[in-house]
Structure 1
Amino acid sequence: MMEADGQPGLRFGVLGPLQGWSGPSRLHLGGAVQERVLATLLLEPGRMVPVTRLVESVWDDVPPTTAAHQVRKAVAHLRRRIPDGNDLIITDGPGYRVSVGEEQLDLIEFGSHLRSAADAVHEGRVGDAVRALRHALSLWRGPVLSGTGGRVIEGAATALEERRLAAAEQYLELRLGLGEAAELIADLRDLIVQHPMRESLRGLLMLALYRGGRQAEAMEEYRKVRELLAEELGIDPGPQLTKLYEGILHEAPELAAPGPVAASPRPITPPAVLPTASTAGAETPAAAPCTLPQDLSDFTGRHEELAALLNHVKARNETSEGYTPLIAIDGMGGSGKTSLAVRAARQAADLFPDGQLHIDLRGYTPGEPSVTPSSALDSLLRALGTPGDRIPDDLEGRAALWRSTLAGRRTLLLLDNARDVGQVLPLLPAEPGCLVLVTSRARLLDLDGAEWISIGPMSEDDGAQLLTEMLGEARVAAEPKASADLVELCGRLPLALRIVAARLRNRPRWTVQYLADRLHDETRRLEELSAGERSVAATLRLSYQAMAEEYRTSFRLLGLHPGTVIDVHSTAALLGMDTHDAESVLERLLDVHLLEQPEIGLYRFHDLVRNFAQSQGGPATEEVDAQGVEQLLGYYLTVTEEACQVLFPGRKRSSTGLAPYGGELPPLQDPERASAWFDREHGSLPAAVALSERHGLDRHTVWLTRNIVFQLNALGRFEDFRHLSQVAVKAARRVQDLALLGASLSSLGIACWKLGHFDEGIEVTSEGRDIAVRLGEKHTEAHSESTIGLLLTVLGQHAEALPHLERAMALEHELDIPRSQAETLTILSTLYEQWGRYGEAATAARRALEIHRQVDYRSNRVMALTDLAFAHVGLGEYEDARTCLERARGLCDEASPPGDFALVLALSAQVAQYLGRGSEVSGLTGQALELAELSGSPTRQAKVENLVGRVHRRRHDHERAMQLHSHAYELAAAIRYRAEEARALGGMARAARALGDTVSAAKHEAAAAALFEVMGAPPYNLD
């Protein structure tokens, strides 16, 4: 599709796996969050989808506290990745919508064809209706958004699948009306396999069989569905199907086929799918050999791969130009390569009437040597009827006879389980009429002219369907959550799923949940995934042992990598090599399917492969493993330090006492790249701290935590911040390094403040301060004093807090650390504002802003502007407050801490109300409450809810105001946040009085007055 200016346009597909194209180029949309956000928007094109629904779509029932923030980041990410993304994804009120036309989205095109078909039927143009429905059905590439997941998306997918099925039924029914019959049977049988209890489909099949002269088979179909309905649902077929059966039984004349039509439409064939052997026109000669293995009766899924494979077969069969069509299927052990190849070979068999041959080359068969090309040729020649005494003894002679024997024949050859190209090349026919399918665990890169199809784990839906096929619907339906969990624990690997199904069938007393619980123990998982001679570990071991020693060592070491994704730079550190050699190792492991590649430059383990890699270590490898881990942690320590210097200017560099990493680092030159690196490694870094702790590298643990928590704090991930800080404190105590301990305690105090653990925060920060004083560590002393002052301010102990803040500022001035000075000044401004000393609050905030002219630290600058706005409000200077808040909002974006952004928005709403700008208020308050809730900080949420409650009171919405103030009070009282506790009580009193509850109003007023007295502050003006 081309745009008006001749440039390739955008097109998206949801009728199958999610796809995006810009002209001929496939778009890389990002990770699971980005895909689910885009998929949800595309399922409702042109409609506003609220952020809350997008959150539900991504995380179902258990979203993280930062879910809405992550959705906004995902939208920003998609806008950057998709050309003209800002025009495609449009912010619309509380959510987003996508702006796409029919030519840009297959879902819209599908609906357009359905409408055309309906119009044609209404006007009696049956042929046009059939063509429109054929076009509509041809758009489907598989299950809707297969692999994208999520309850919201699955619900929409189910509804769309029902539309597709209804369209397919209408399409086949119209063709029956045009006089077709026998040519529809195969398509109807395929649909019935997928929907065995759908009576309308069964009725169409019975009628097609009857009109095709197969009355007995039509009646047999009725018997099958009657037994199925009785067994599964305890009911009989409906009256329409029963009436059809009776009509067929009595050969009712109204069931006869209509008269011949001049030109009936061609039968539907889904894109890239050939007719099955049962419906193809040519008959295989009786003498033609077939040594293909039996097709699996419960073969499930792989729709896209099978369609692609058969499309290659069909294309090569029709356009062979002097060379043998060659298709190679590669994938990790246990992924179902052979099953897929056999299914494709069986479906394509009638195109090769001179025989279909299979040979297992045993490239990866336990306990058996690989089949030599000479032995393989001997077996293949004998399968074609060549007498043994005519088969030469040498390889060259056998290869020549093989090629001459196949001359002029149309034969299909399945070479299964190939180890390398040397096994395959002598077996290739010379004639273009043949077809060769090759399966291998490694991509055979030297196999020139091959069409490649790589298969990985199954989709979630296909994995669930395979488990259902093997265990039965009743057993899976009885434990749906455990069954879904089992599919994921098996890594959606067909071999693993077949093993667990076999274990459950052989142990009828076991529940699905019981086996899932056993598999949750990663140390036993591979042991559990074995049954008889089949074992996931044994299958993976064959791939592992087939590699050279250097790759086996690298594979084992990569099993120690803490990340969910692995890049070249961290691999180089772990393996002790340069990035060029590291990339070669990763690509080799990718070629043999021991690694996956989610996007260019990034690699990851399949879960079961990671378990296997981790099981290969032992006493003999401990020294090498420990060295690799230390190198990797040194890399992470160096990179996080450099990234923090870019993202947090003015941050003090400290000597760690550890050797810096000397290898190549990823690009971190600007905040965008540094932030992107942190985002990509957000799961790896806490896991790296845990790895460091397990290996007893306590100094690495402390210093790496120090760097990571800066970003965790900026992102509002306060629980992670606190947990890692606690780990670092324990590590510092173990090494008995007081300087490290003091710094770690000081950091933990900040996390405690964010989460409202004030008493714990004062305790640990005071210990850190005392250690710093004893050691003369003035930087740590200053930070600790500032944090103690902050915690006391929150507790409403203003007089006690002030000396700590003044001491902190004196030390910061002496040490010339302006960034820290600015942070302490913002705390001081908050203290004065709570104390009712608004002029001094404004002075402190202005001094903080002055420092930011030298050190541009955006988050602190936002808070300094907000503190100054609070002071202006206290002084009644609302225009000045509005100016400050406009500047603060201009500095906020999706990457800003949600709690800080929420506070800016809430105060902006209050100021807008004071200035008579009522139209701005609702949008500001709604977003403020949403961000405050996902901030993970009760201090921020309480303050925001009090501000918004005050806005509602001034609008005379006293019931909503009471709700907000009451919840703010619960939050503040639980953590003894005295200032907001008092504000909440005052707000509750005003709301109660307005609602006529004077008793409650008096009680709340008395409680608020008592708190103001304790804080030594004048009562706040609550109007």
Structure 2
Amino acid sequence: MTEEPHGDAHHNTVSGQSRVGSLVQAGRIDTVHVHGPASDEPPPPRQLRPEVPNFVDRKGEQQRFERCVRDRRGDGDRPLVVVLSGLSGVGKTTLGFRLARRFAKDVDRAGGRCGVLYVDLAPLRRDGVVEPYDALDELLRSLGVDPEWLGSTEEARLRQFWRHTAAAPFVVVADNVRYAGEIEPLLPSCPGSVVIVASHGPLYDLEDADAVELPLAPLPLEHAVELLTKAVGRAGAARLGEEPEAVRELAALCEGLPAALRVVAARLRGARRRLVAHVAEEFRTQLREEGVPLVEAVWTVMYLELSEPARRCYELLGTVGSSLPLEAVGAAVAPGEAAADGATDAIVEELEGLGLVEVRDGRLVMHALVREHAARRARDADRAAVARSARERLVRWYLRQAQRADLVAAGKRLSVSTPEPAVAGTAEPALSEAATAYGWLETERHALRRCLRIAYDDRLDAQAWALCEPLWTHHLNHPRHRETSEAFRIGLAAARRAENLAARVRMACQLARLLWEQGEYDEAERELDTAVAAAGLLSDTDDDRKLAASALEFRGRLNAERGRWAAALPDYEAARAVHERIENRYGVMLQNYQLGKALTALGRTARALDLLETAHAQARDLARDRMTGRTALALGRVLELRRQENGRARELYGVALASARRRNAPADQLGALDALARIAAEGGDASAAAEYREAAARIRTRRGETGEG
């Protein structure tokens, strides 16, 4: 049985990111009243980080940027591309946001409206490569395009991005770019736009007259001393003034990297009674002992001073990712300690006090340069077992929260995993409402996928495939086919390695759907044939029978997707028979619906009518709002095709529209509105038909539909 992705909760809301040109309000559907917007179109998004404190130098780069913008203003058909290149920690992203802010303010002063978008390519990189499809996913979502309206191909997403960036200039700040080819899909279509690229090295393959290279060297010693002095604060600055030579040596040890200088400043603030010369000597000693690059000594000195729990957290950030929610810290690195005793707070304060992390929006965030050092420490032989133990606790904590979010968002459904128990004394996020649960899954999607990979690499196979189940719920609401396909390939490999038959069937079925939705029909067919065969070896419990029926339905749906409606019928019928034997009313209803749609496509409308009448009544009896709406739409279409009871067909389309509106489901709204427009036009009511079409067009426009197919 294929579960409903959104459950049956009734929603009638418009999210803060939605671009609302109109809202359709209707009870009994005779006509649709379209209400105009109450205010002007909202301004474009501005994804700007706050200015960093104590910014120094970079005047030459800022002046050159302004000259380039000024000299080409009004000229050229392409956006200006500015490449900021340099070492990690040299301040590329910080300067990029500073330039973006200044450009946006200039546009505002000139009477325009400038959007600012940010995309980090690092978490999107797979085997060293970023697909434009994935980068455009991030940008389009930032522009307010609903996930279900994202183009299914790279070309479709490019068209969407161009359409959304055509009317006004945009600044796109692209972080962690490696190759020039990664920039082209990020270019807004408005020629007055700017793309600011942060890259470790020059992009030699960038061949474009509208591209400017701005290499960032480390800060000169004078400016490094200035930054260090400002960053220690007023009280600390007076102290530094008493040891100018030691300050210069300390600044030199940081090699002019602002990220290192800020950490050293935190060290000085925390060691108020120590001489600056003594702090500098610590770094020199570390340098002599380990023979590492100068800046490496900065992190090592800090690391060696950490308590054991803080050290575990530091290593974990290096292994899992540069950002963790605070609730995860205690679960992963302070096991057995009650949340109330302040263990997590002590860890955070220790790391933050030394400048190794920042706390942003309830998360620990680590600079990429520091993370590289933390990852190396986690790989040390004498720390490997400690790091692995912390990774396992983190995986289990994330699995527990993802399962909680899944249950709230999608409700109870077919599952092959065991619920992960709560860990005593650990904090958990509040996940009591569907919107909050979906939001948590979206926010933590990169961490969940990293945990899935860690679970597989550490042979935590049961946790690996269990993580796939909440990722499925997330995908249904926030589709990212390539990311999710990769996750389910790992989950399927874990199920095979563990020889868990039920998990193999479940993972293969869901992977198959991801494949056919990307046009990979032959591979999807192979996976489903294997899954159906494996399902035949399952036990005779109701849960295993339900899983076997689900595999049959998936294969039937694949045939339906390929237009092989006759081939889909036997699998739907066999699945229904299983659901009838185990008295699964929802499964029976769903197979009646699938059979009705298949028979409609085959032109066997008399039998389709009987099945869809039954399915619609069953959905109502089960109080399944989503399926009540969908069966109503399918039933109304059959009545139309049979040219009978058009009045009832219109009422059914009204039921479908009302259901879609309650669930805030724009795709289902469009199906109902298109049907209402069609039936109104056939009935000679041109005015009503035009109003339905206008309402549908407004939804398509504000939701970013591509017009594909």
Specify the alignment match of 1:800 in structure 2: 567
How far is the alpha carbon of 1:778 from its aligned partner? 0.9
How far is the alpha carbon of 1:913 from its aligned partner? 4.8
Q: Deviations over 1:469-488 (max 9, x none)?
A: xxxxxxxxxxxxxxxxxxxx
5+ residue gaps, structure 1:
1-11, 21-31, 76-93, 97-143, 160-231, 233-294, 301-333, 369-415, 428-437, 442-526, 935-943, 946-967, 969-1023
Q: In 1, are the aligned partners of 2:504 and 2:531 still within 8 Å (CA)?
A: yes
How far is the alpha carbon of 1:698 from its aligned partner? 1.8
SS of the residue corresponding to residue 867 of structure 1 reads helix
Aligned residues: 523
Specify the alignment match of 2:363 in structure 1: 602
User: Kindly tell me: are residues 865 and 761 of structure 1, through their superposed partners in 2, closer, same or farther at Cα, counting changes over 3 Å?
Assistant: farther
Which residue identity is paired with 1:867?
Answer: A
SS of the residue corresponding to residue 136 of structure 2 reads coil
Alpha-carbon distance in 2 for matches of 1:759, 1:426: 69
Q: In 2, are the aligned partners of 1:701 and 1:731 still within 8 Å (CA)?
A: yes
From 719, 732, 735, the counterpart of 2:482: 719
How far is the alpha carbon of 1:696 from its aligned partner? 2.1
Which residue identity is paired with 2:377?
Answer: Q
Alpha-carbon distance in 1 for matches of 2:421, 2:393: 10
Alpha-carbon distance in 2 for matches of 1:536, 1:557: 21
User: Kindly tell me: are residues 361 and 571 of structure 1, through their superposed partners in 2, closer, same or farther at Cα, counting changes over 3 Å?
Assistant: same
Specify the alignment match of 1:760 in structure 2: 523
Specify the alignment match of 2:227 in structure 1: 337
> In the TM superposition, what are the counterparts of 1:699-714 in structure 2 within 5 Å?
699-714=462-477
Which residue identity is paired with 2:430?
Answer: P
How far is the alpha carbon of 1:151 from its aligned partner? 6.5
Specify the alignment match of 1:632 in structure 2: 394
SS of the residue corresponding to residue 320 of structure 2 reads coil
> In the TM superposition, what are the counterparts of 1:552-567 in structure 2 within 5 Å?
552-562=311-321, 565-567=323-325
Q: In 2, are the aligned partners of 1:788 and 1:801 still within 8 Å (CA)?
A: yes
Q: In 2, are the aligned partners of 1:699 and 1:731 still within 8 Å (CA)?
A: yes
Specify the alignment match of 1:115 in structure 2: none
How far is the alpha carbon of 1:918 from its aligned partner? 1.7
Q: Deviations over 1:838-881 (max 9, x none)?
A: 45445544544545556666665554444344334434535235
Q: Deviations over 1:734-776 (max 9, x none)?
A: 1222222122112222222322322322221121122112223
Q: In 2, are the aligned partners of 1:832 and 1:840 still within 8 Å (CA)?
A: yes
Q: In 2, are the aligned partners of 1:809 and 1:821 still within 8 Å (CA)?
A: yes
SS of the residue corresponding to residue 359 of structure 2 reads strand
Alpha-carbon distance in 2 for matches of 1:344, 1:873: 78
Q: In 2, are the aligned partners of 1:668 and 1:674 still within 8 Å (CA)?
A: yes
| 1:614 has 2:375 as partner | yes
User: Kindly tell me: are residues 14 and 852 of structure 1, through their superposed partners in 2, closer, same or farther at Cα, counting changes over 3 Å?
Assistant: closer
Specify the alignment match of 1:779 in structure 2: 546
Alpha-carbon distance in 2 for matches of 1:848, 1:360: 83
Q: In 2, are the aligned partners of 1:361 and 1:418 still within 8 Å (CA)?
A: no
Q: In 1, are the aligned partners of 2:267 and 2:355 still within 8 Å (CA)?
A: no
Which residue identity is paired with 2:594?
Answer: I
Alpha-carbon distance in 2 for matches of 1:793, 1:557: 46
SS of the residue corresponding to residue 668 of structure 1 reads coil
Alpha-carbon distance in 2 for matches of 1:343, 1:17: 25
Alpha-carbon distance in 2 for matches of 1:689, 1:795: 32
Q: Deviations over 1:296-339 (max 9, x none)?
A: 76978xxxxxxxxxxxxxxxxxxxxxxxxxxxxxxxxx897326
Specify the alignment match of 1:488 in structure 2: none
| 1:747 has 2:536 as partner | no
| 1:72 has 2:147 as partner | no
Which residue identity is paired with 1:566?
Answer: L
Q: In 1, are the aligned partners of 2:661 and 2:669 still within 8 Å (CA)?
A: no
Alpha-carbon distance in 2 for matches of 1:684, 1:788: 32
User: Kindly tell me: are residues 154 and 560 of structure 1, through their superposed partners in 2, closer, same or farther at Cα, counting changes over 3 Å?
Assistant: farther
User: Kindly tell me: are residues 297 and 595 of structure 1, through their superposed partners in 2, closer, same or farther at Cα, counting changes over 3 Å?
Assistant: closer
Q: Deviations over 1:545-568 (max 9, x none)?
A: 233344223312332334x53112
Which residue identity is paired with 1:880?
Answer: E
Which residue identity is paired with 1:686?
Answer: R
Q: In 2, are the aligned partners of 1:906 and 1:928 still within 8 Å (CA)?
A: no
Q: In 1, are the aligned partners of 2:513 and 2:524 still within 8 Å (CA)?
A: yes
How far is the alpha carbon of 1:787 from its aligned partner? 0.8
User: Kindly tell me: are residues 14 and 728 of structure 1, through their superposed partners in 2, closer, same or farther at Cα, counting changes over 3 Å?
Assistant: closer
SS of the residue corresponding to residue 360 of structure 2 reads strand
Q: In 1, are the aligned partners of 2:328 and 2:427 still within 8 Å (CA)?
A: no
In the superposition, the TM-score normalised over structure 2's length comes to 0.60
Q: Deviations over 1:794-844 (max 9, x none)?
A: 233333221211111222233344454454344323212212234544554
| 1:647 has 2:409 as partner | yes
5+ residue gaps, structure 2:
1-42, 52-95, 122-131, 148-162, 176-185, 196-211, 213-217, 254-263, 280-286
Alpha-carbon distance in 1 for matches of 2:343, 2:549: 46
From 495, 510, 532, the counterpart of 1:732: 495
How far is the alpha carbon of 1:69 from its aligned partner? 4.8
User: Kindly tell me: are residues 417 and 745 of structure 1, through their superposed partners in 2, closer, same or farther at Cα, counting changes over 3 Å?
Assistant: closer
Which residue identity is paired with 1:805?
Answer: Y
Alpha-carbon distance in 2 for matches of 1:566, 1:868: 48
User: Kindly tell me: are residues 157 and 791 of structure 1, through their superposed partners in 2, closer, same or farther at Cα, counting changes over 3 Å?
Assistant: closer
Alpha-carbon distance in 2 for matches of 1:728, 1:800: 29
| 1:573 has 2:573 as partner | no
Q: Deviations over 1:43-72 (max 9, x none)?
A: 6699998xxx97988799875347545533
Q: Deviations over 1:943-968 (max 9, x none)?
A: x75xxxxxxxxxxxxxxxxxxxxxx3
Alpha-carbon distance in 2 for matches of 1:803, 1:339: 77
Q: In 1, are the aligned partners of 2:509 and 2:551 still within 8 Å (CA)?
A: yes
Give the aligned CA root-mean-square deviation in angstroms.
Answer: 5.4
Specify the alignment match of 2:439 in structure 1: 676
From 577, 584, 596, the counterpart of 1:810: 577
User: Kindly tell me: are residues 740 and 297 of structure 1, through their superposed partners in 2, closer, same or farther at Cα, counting changes over 3 Å?
Assistant: closer
Q: Deviations over 1:891-924 (max 9, x none)?
A: 454xx5x766665565565456545222442562
Alpha-carbon distance in 2 for matches of 1:67, 1:684: 20
Q: In 2, are the aligned partners of 1:634 and 1:700 still within 8 Å (CA)?
A: yes
Alpha-carbon distance in 2 for matches of 1:342, 1:589: 17
| 1:582 has 2:344 as partner | yes
Based on CA coordinates, which of the two structures has the bigger radius of gyration?
1
Q: Deviations over 1:207-230 (max 9, x none)?
A: xxxxxxxxxxxxxxxxxxxxxxxx
User: Kindly tell me: are residues 829 and 903 of structure 1, through their superposed partners in 2, closer, same or farther at Cα, counting changes over 3 Å?
Assistant: same
In the superposition, the TM-score normalised over structure 1's length comes to 0.43
Which residue identity is paired with 2:487?
Answer: L
Specify the alignment match of 2:303 in structure 1: 544
How far is the alpha carbon of 1:571 from its aligned partner? 1.6
Alpha-carbon distance in 1 for matches of 2:293, 2:445: 37
Q: Deviations over 1:161-209 (max 9, x none)?
A: xxxxxxxxxxxxxxxxxxxxxxxxxxxxxxxxxxxxxxxxxxxxxxxxx
User: Kindly tell me: are residues 533 and 766 of structure 1, through their superposed partners in 2, closer, same or farther at Cα, counting changes over 3 Å?
Assistant: closer
> In the TM superposition, what are the counterparts of 1:116-131 in structure 2 within 5 Å?
none
Q: In 1, are the aligned partners of 2:267 and 2:354 still within 8 Å (CA)?
A: no
User: Kindly tell me: are residues 718 and 900 of structure 1, through their superposed partners in 2, closer, same or farther at Cα, counting changes over 3 Å?
Assistant: farther
Alpha-carbon distance in 2 for matches of 1:860, 1:342: 62
User: Kindly tell me: are residues 733 and 572 of structure 1, through their superposed partners in 2, closer, same or farther at Cα, counting changes over 3 Å?
Assistant: same
Q: Deviations over 1:74-123 (max 9, x none)?
A: 99xxxxxxxxxxxxxxxxxx989xxxxxxxxxxxxxxxxxxxxxxxxxxx
Q: In 1, are the aligned partners of 2:559 and 2:567 still within 8 Å (CA)?
A: yes
Alpha-carbon distance in 2 for matches of 1:296, 1:67: 32
From 385, 388, 410, the counterpart of 1:623: 385
SS of the residue corresponding to residue 566 of structure 1 reads strand
| 1:880 has 2:651 as partner | yes
> In the TM superposition, what are the counterparts of 1:341-380 in structure 2 within 5 Å?
358-359=243-244
User: Kindly tell me: are residues 674 and 363 of structure 1, through their superposed partners in 2, closer, same or farther at Cα, counting changes over 3 Å?
Assistant: farther
User: Kindly tell me: are residues 297 and 653 of structure 1, through their superposed partners in 2, closer, same or farther at Cα, counting changes over 3 Å?
Assistant: closer
Alpha-carbon distance in 2 for matches of 1:767, 1:535: 56
Which of structures 1 and 2 has the larger relative contact order (alpha carbons within 8 angstroms, sep 6+)? 2
User: Kindly tell me: are residues 871 and 660 of structure 1, through their superposed partners in 2, closer, same or farther at Cα, counting changes over 3 Å?
Assistant: farther
Q: In 1, are the aligned partners of 2:654 and 2:672 still within 8 Å (CA)?
A: no
